[in-house]
Amino acid sequence: MIIPPGRLSPETLQRLIEDFVSREGTDNGDDSTEAQKVARVRAELDAESAVIYYDAEFSQCILAARNQVPPEMIRAWKEEQQG
């Protein structure tokens, strides 16, 4: 299930993004500050090139590039948005 960022409280969204950018292996040699990385992730969420989804198998929310999310999940999300 994809979770629109607007459905999360601002504090929860901020913590989720900060957790994502601070994880080992996400910097790939990027010397940006954490604030810059957080801003980039927010922009990607706003542009829908990244999404937040709930993984029932692991019982957790995951922030991922849209192309890494199962296509059927994206279809269901788009259908829900359309009404």
Mean pLDDT of 64-71: 89
CB 3 within 8 Å of CB 77: no
| Predicted pLDDT of residue 28 | 66
Confidence (pTM): 0.80
Q: Has residue 44 got a pLDDT over 70?
A: yes
**Mean pLDDT calculated for residue range 34-59:** 92
At CB < 8 A and 24+ separation, what contacts does 20-23 make? 20/63
Identify the pLDDT of residue 24. Answer: 62
Sign of CA dihedral 25, 21, 37, 7: positive
Q: Which of 66, 67, 37, 61 is nearest to 50 (CA)?
A: 66
58 is written with which tokens?
């692991």
Please check the confidence at residue 54 and state whether its pLDDT lies above 80.
yes
pLDDT at 25: 57
